[in-house]
Amino acid sequence: MDNLNKNELLALANDWLTENEGKKKSTINDVAKLANVSKKTVSRVINQPNTVKVTTRTRVETIINKIKFQPDMQARGLAFRHSFLVGMIYDNPNAQYTLNMQQGILDGLKGSGYELVVHPCDRNQQDFVEEAKQFIERQKLRGVILTPSASEDERMAKMLKEIDCDYVRVASVSLDDPKHMLVSNDMQGGVLVAKHLCSLGHQRIAFVTGKKGFRSSEERQKGFEVGLAEHNLSLNPRYIAQGQYTFESGIAAGHQLISLNPIPTAIFAANDEMAAGVMQAMRVKGMSVPNDISIVGFDDFQIALNVWPRLTTVHSPTLDIGRLAAQHLLGMNNSHAPGPESTPWLVERESTTHLAANN
């Protein structure tokens, strides 16, 4: 190791530990002195190890490990001109989605030294992009993860590029340079629902949309219609009810759909909250799931297991999506590879049955 071998370095470190036992914590100056390098070199080993030749880096790392030096995170942030914070910007009425995404991101940040800060926004507010910009600059964020529907807004992406902030957009389709995307493939989930209901013999099938302006709702409906077309069916506009991705909007949509004549034999709601709301509307009217109408949701959140009958739904791996988004964001400086994608799948439970059982 240049002028000193490993044993000599460890001997120096042991002498330092004996001399300073119980007196003070190790500092970057102590590391520099013991490794016989400049403080700047120690900083580079910590922050940009690939810029330091291997022998020097090994010498410094040996001392750091032996005297248990802990770099100051604020100082590291100043060196990089940003904090050790990652931001999540969201505009989503579904609290469970937001919580699951946060937990997934936290899992992805675990062990990295980075922490998560969140910023709710409202795309209906004229200054929501400017507010997000101020949030990023005030916190000196390392990067940002955008979730639907904030991720679907091109003004937000343009702003992030202008201020040179790393970002990952979570969305149902690719909307940007692939390296900035994590695609959830919601359309594929819609296809799966159509195939499932058609396989059970249903033909008069209704759909409860998500909130207007959400690309995820559009993609889920698009996939549903593609799946129906594969079975020579189409989605009758009479059997489409507007939802808001909330339980209450599901109740309203449910009342609308079960008042039709003839009533649908199956209903696909664009998320689990609305599917549970539809089930509540049916219960109020004395109707049974699935004997009167089969119900399918989307997301596979906890509510899908809390209702009875348990909800057949599309599992969208939100926790995994959050974890992958965080890991991809932190790896951006070293890679220009496309972002990962997730694949939804159908979970069959008791809320759907064959059409014959409905008669």
Residue labelled with tokens 């507007």:
242
Percent above pLDDT 70 for the chain: 91
Instruction: Name the residue with higher pLDDT: 49 or 349.
Output: 349
Q: Are residues 350 and 237 in the same domain?
A: yes
94 part of a folded domain:
yes
Closest C-alpha among 187, 182, 176 to residue 321? 182
Supply the CATH number for residue 39's domain. Answer: 1.10.260.40
C-beta neighbour count of 89 within 10 angstroms: 25
Clarify whether residues 108 and 63 are in a common domain.
no
Q: What is the mean pLDDT of residues 288-296?
A: 97
Q: What is the pLDDT of residues 72-125, one digit of tens each?
A: 655 554 444 567 899 999 998 788 999 999 999 999 999 888 999 999 998 888
Q: Does residue 15 sit in the same domain as residue 149?
A: no
Distance of CA 119 to the CA centre of its chain: 14
Count structural domains, the chain.
Answer: 3
Residue-wise pLDDT tens digits, 203-261:
999 999 999 989 999 999 999 999 999 999 999 999 999 999 999 999 999 999 999 99
226-234 contact pairs (CB < 8 A, 24+): 226/187, 226/190, 226/191, 226/194, 227/190, 227/191, 227/192, 227/193, 227/194, 227/195, 227/198, 228/194, 228/198, 230/191, 230/194, 230/195, 230/198, 231/194, 231/195, 231/198, 233/194, 233/198, 233/203, 233/205
Percentage with pLDDT > 90 across the chain = 64
User: Same domain for 268 and 282?
Assistant: yes
Residues 311, 172, single domain; the answer is no
Predicted confidence at residue 48, as pLDDT, reads: 61
Q: Which domain holds residue 39?
A: 6-71
CATH code of the domain in which 128 resides: 3.40.50.2300
The predicted model gives 29-45 an average pLDDT of 84
With respect to residue 43, please indicate whether it lies within any of the assigned structural domains.
yes
Same domain, 48 and 103: no
What integer pLDDT is reported at residue 78 of this predicted model?
A: 44
Residue 319 has pLDDT above 80, yes or no: yes
In a domain, residue 303? The reply is yes
- The answer to the question of residue 1 being in a domain is no
For residues 144-167, give the mean pLDDT. Answer: 93
User: What is the predicted pLDDT for the residue at 226?
Assistant: 98
pLDDT by residue (tens digit) across 176-186? Answer: 999 999 999 99
Q: pTM score > 0.85 for this model?
A: no
